[in-house]
Amino acid sequence: MLRHLTVAELASHGYRLIEASNGDEALKAVKVHTGPIHLLITDVIMPQMNGVELARRLHEIRPDAKVLYISGYMHDSLPSRDPSAQVLLKPFTSDVLVARVRALLDGIPSY
């Protein structure tokens, strides 16, 4: 449900999105997409493949893509030294989501 709301909110602000229900589906979509992929938004905890692994595998294909992790809590599996990745903690508002995406795409550090 959160994925659908996030996609709808970002689409309403003009962002073009590729939606995937899991990491494997996301990687398949990335491989067939011929245009640029600027940002991966992924939950940290997912079945089969967690968000950190998804981001690692995405960077093998699209090294310039930035990453926004969504998490309900902080833990040690997040790559704290990846300057292209940031974390948005749940719960968050639509305005915060849109602002974080814009800032990340614009290269504005978020603390």
Name the domain count of the chain: 1
Q: Where are the alpha helices (DSSP H) in 16-93?
A: 23-32, 51-61
Assigned domain for 86 exists: yes
Q: Report which of 37, 87, 21, 82 is spatially closest to residue 56, judged by C-alpha positions.
A: 82
Confidence class for position 102, pLDDT limits 50, 70, 90: very high
Per-residue pLDDT, 77: 56
The string of pLDDT tens digits covering residues 13-22 is: 999 999 999 9
Assigned domain for 59 exists: yes
What's the CATH number where 46 sits? 3.40.50.2300
Backbone angles phi, psi at 82, to 5 degrees: -90, 105
The string of pLDDT tens digits covering residues 28-60 is: 999 999 999 999 999 988 888 999 899 999 999
In which region does residue 94 sit, left (phi positive, over 0), alpha (psi from -120 to 50) or beta (all else)? Answer: alpha
Assigned domain for 81 exists: yes
Total-model pTM: 0.89
Domain with 65, as residue range(s), is 36-111
HSE of 54, CA atoms in CB hemisphere, 13 A: 30
Distance between CA atoms of residues 111 and 108, nearest Å: 10
